[in-house]
């Protein structure tokens, strides 16, 4: 006989005290510990704080203005737990959709809300996103040098540090400056001046240098390590096809940003000519920037990031679409993405099935001091740590000692003076 006494009937638990988390404060903090970072800090009624990165390199103050003038007034009084609803509200509600400024601002809100939700749950964020799919997030480091020999020596150093994947960038003989070749080996910083510096470019000189670089690197490093290269949008589709073909014997892990990707159809030409895997997307703002690339199988890795592509909520949508088409993630992770984004990328990378590889340009000790964090590098991987939320803090007192300092990305000209892609 069924026992119907009150004690035997399971009781529906009363509403947990923190089922809503009303936003009471939202502020933008700009700091320059060696480079500029924009951070959004959201606080809820119970004092829980969440952080979101809003840094858009060289255009930082546009995002600050967007947040302060148009987004912060919308946040106060809303429930921080309603992350998807907030995303839709800020995206659809603006009427003006997409674009790097708006999507970076939305990303900052989204990541801060995920941070809050995970802190309230008392869990590292990847647990809320479905739990760990892997032991850690495999990362690639940057080996660069003004000559092939210097770049290969750097690559050996990265291998000895434990990296399993290394990006190779080398100076091009005859050109004074080349993208990716920094003054400081561990901390590459492209936004290098108060007004844009000018680089010089020659596709012809470059096209012969890269295969020679890969030849020397394979000779020194063997086959047991992943090698990558970033073209930084500087070729035409047919040139990219030729470079991809020339690199095939060296089995690159990927060839990045071979051509500017506004015209997604351009990748069809590259695909017809090479089996070298293609990665693209560090400047993408939304799923619409990569829909054709993914659905037609024109790329192998999508490099869209949490910070510039609408946050964790939107990047999960991109990754899900990519997974259907055998495309893996390869998220952007340069120094202009703050430790808040790096942590978000790690929690995201831990939790999705089709993770590929994560870029990891180390931050300077100055930056790390302003953003103390729980993630750590071990054996070629980053590990997000066990702290609740993202596991990143912002030392506001220290941040205030590093005021904003205008810094532009360089521009690029052909040898005859024509302005070209940087
Ligand atoms: O802000 C621009 C940099 O993040 C970018 O130039 C770095 O291409 C880059 C990369 O692959 O990290
Ligand atoms: Mg790149």
Q: pLDDT tens-digit profile of 232-265?
A: 999 999 999 999 999 999 999 999 999 999 999 9
Please compute the mean of the pLDDT values over residues 75-84 and round it to a whole number.
98
> Residue 96, Cβ neighbours under 10 Å: how many?
7
Nearest by Cα to 264 from 308, 298, 315:
298
The reply to whether 23-124 and 128-388 are identical in fold is: no
Q: In the chain, what are the domain boundaries?
A: 23-124, 128-388
| Helix/strand/coil for 168 | strand
Q: Whose CA is nearest to atom 10 of ligand 1?
A: 334
Q: pLDDT tens-digit profile of 402-415?
A: 999 999 999 999 99
Residue 161: pLDDT over 70 = yes
> Residue 71, Cβ neighbours under 10 Å: how many?
21
Please compute the mean of the pLDDT values over residues 136-159 and round it to a whole number.
97
CA 326 to chain centre: 20
Q: Whose CA is nearest to atom 4 of ligand 1?
A: 334
Q: Does the domain made of 128-388 have the CATH classification 3.20.20.120?
A: yes
Residue 182: pLDDT over 80 = no
**Six-digit token string for 46:** 């119970």
Q: How confident is the model at residue 36 (pLDDT cuts 50, 70, 90)?
A: very high
Q: pLDDT tens-digit profile of 204-225?
A: 999 999 999 999 999 999 999 9
Query: What sign does the CA torsion over 257, 110, 135, 337 have?
Result: positive
CA 407 to chain centre: 20
Residue 65: pLDDT over 70 = yes
> Residue 326, Cβ neighbours under 10 Å: how many?
10
Q: Is the CB of 60 under 6 A from ligand 1?
A: no
Angle between helices 339-351 and 311-324 (to 10 degrees): 40
CATH number corresponding to 23-124: 3.30.390.10
Kindly name the residue from 226, 229, 232, 347 that is annotated as catalytic: 232
Cα–Cα dist 180/303, whole Å: 17
Asked if 232 is an active-site residue, the reply is yes
Atom of ligand 1 nearest to the CA of 191: 1
∠ Cα 419 60 186 (to 5°) = 80
Q: pLDDT tens-digit profile of 315-347?
A: 999 999 999 999 999 999 999 999 999 999 999
Cα–Cα dist 166/183, whole Å: 18
**Total residues found in the chain within this entry:** 422
Whether the Cβ atoms of residue 357 and residue 226 lie closer than 8 Å to each other = yes
Q: How confident is the model at residue 5 (pLDDT cuts 50, 70, 90)?
A: low
Q: Is the CB of 141 under 6 A from ligand 1?
A: no
pLDDT at 8: 54
């Amino acid at each position: 006989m069924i026992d119907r006494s009150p004690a035997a009937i399971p009781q529906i638990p009363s509403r947990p005290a923190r089922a809503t988390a009303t936003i009471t404060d939202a502020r933008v903090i700009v700091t320059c510990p060696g480079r500029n970072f924009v951070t959004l800090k959201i606080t809820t009624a119970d004092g829980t704080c969440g952080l979101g990165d809003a840094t858009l390199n060289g255009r930082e103050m546009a995002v600050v203005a967007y947040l302060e003038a148009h987004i912060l007034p919308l946040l106060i009084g809303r429930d921080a737990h309603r992350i998807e609803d907030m995303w839709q509200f800020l995206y659809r509600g603006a009427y003006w959709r997409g674009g790097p400024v708006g999507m970076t601002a939305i990303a900052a809100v989204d990541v801060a809300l995920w941070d809050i939700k995970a802190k309230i749950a008392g869990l590292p964020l990847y647990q809320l996103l479905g739990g760990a799919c892997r032991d850690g997030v495999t990362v690639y480091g940057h080996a660069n040098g003004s000559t092939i020999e210097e770049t290969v020596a750097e690559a050996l150093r990265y291998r000895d540090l434990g990296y399993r994947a290394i990006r190779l960038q080398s100076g091009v003989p005859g050109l004074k400056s080349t993208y990716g070749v920094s003054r400081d080996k561990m901390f590459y910083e492209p936004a290098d001046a108060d007004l844009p510096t000018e680089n010089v470019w020659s596709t012809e000189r470059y096209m012969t240098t890269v295969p020679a670089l890969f030849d020397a690197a394979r000779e020194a490093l063997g086959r047991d390590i992943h090698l990558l290269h970033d073209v930084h949008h500087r070729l035409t589709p047919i040139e990219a096809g030729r470079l991809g073909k020339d690199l095939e014997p060296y089995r690159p892990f990927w060839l990045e940003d071979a051509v500017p990707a506004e015209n997604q159809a351009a990748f069809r030409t590259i695909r017809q000519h090479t089996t070298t895997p293609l990665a693209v997307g560090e400047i993408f703002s939304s799923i619409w920037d990569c829909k054709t690339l993914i659905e037609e199988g024109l790329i192998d890795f999508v490099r869209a990031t949490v910070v510039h592509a609408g946050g964790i909520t939107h990047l999960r949508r991109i990754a899900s679409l990519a997974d259907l088409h055998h495309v893996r993630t390869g998220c952007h992770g340069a120094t202009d993405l703050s430790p808040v984004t790096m942590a978000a990328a790690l929690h995201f990378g831990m939790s999705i099935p089709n993770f590929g590889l994560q870029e990891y340009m180390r931050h300077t000790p100055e930056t790390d001091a302003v953003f103390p964090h729980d993630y750590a590098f071990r054996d070629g991987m980053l590990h997000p740590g066990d702290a609740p939320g993202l596991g990143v803090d912002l030392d506001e007192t220290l941040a205030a000692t590093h005021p904003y300092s205008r810094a532009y990305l360089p521009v690029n000209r052909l040898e005859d003076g024509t302005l070209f892609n940087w």
